[in-house]
Structure 1
Amino acid sequence: MRRAAIRTSHGSPAGAERVAAAVRPDNTAEMTTRVEGETVVTTIERDATNGLQSTVDDYVVNLRVAAQLSDQPTQSNHE
């Protein structure tokens, strides 16, 4: 079994929670995502190195988008 742990800091626990909530729906059965303070930790386990690499690559793309969007100001639609 191959394993990778990806740790990213997001400046605050609230920011980390937003990012984790955004990436969790894309997790496969081999992935877990948790928040430790201002850090999001995702662990990925796969049988083969090439499968692990592919999953990590996909996750990092999703993580970048989630982090960028979580930094955007919240907009409200009040009429």
Structure 2
Amino acid sequence: MSPSIWQILIILVIVLLLFGPSKIPGLGKSLGEAIRGFKKGISEDPEIDVTDSAKREQIADNEKAGAGQKAKTKETNKS
């Protein structure tokens, strides 16, 4: 069941009373930008580069391993 013309007019009058005539163009602009951004976000196909994330993980693992080896070296030098 779609809204009748009277229901739409009542909703428009309520919106006009709530926000006032000066803020309605700004609301329409914001709504349009939000819809445009949403459509753009959906239409763009995000490129996921698995090699970059794998490289980052490997670097992080190497840093952790390197930190562990440095700690062992310091312990052996102290004794």
- TM-score with structure 2 length normalisation? 0.37
- TM-score with structure 1 length normalisation? 0.37
Structure with bigger RCO (C-alpha 8 Å, 6+ apart): 1
**Is the helix fraction higher in 1 or 2?**
2
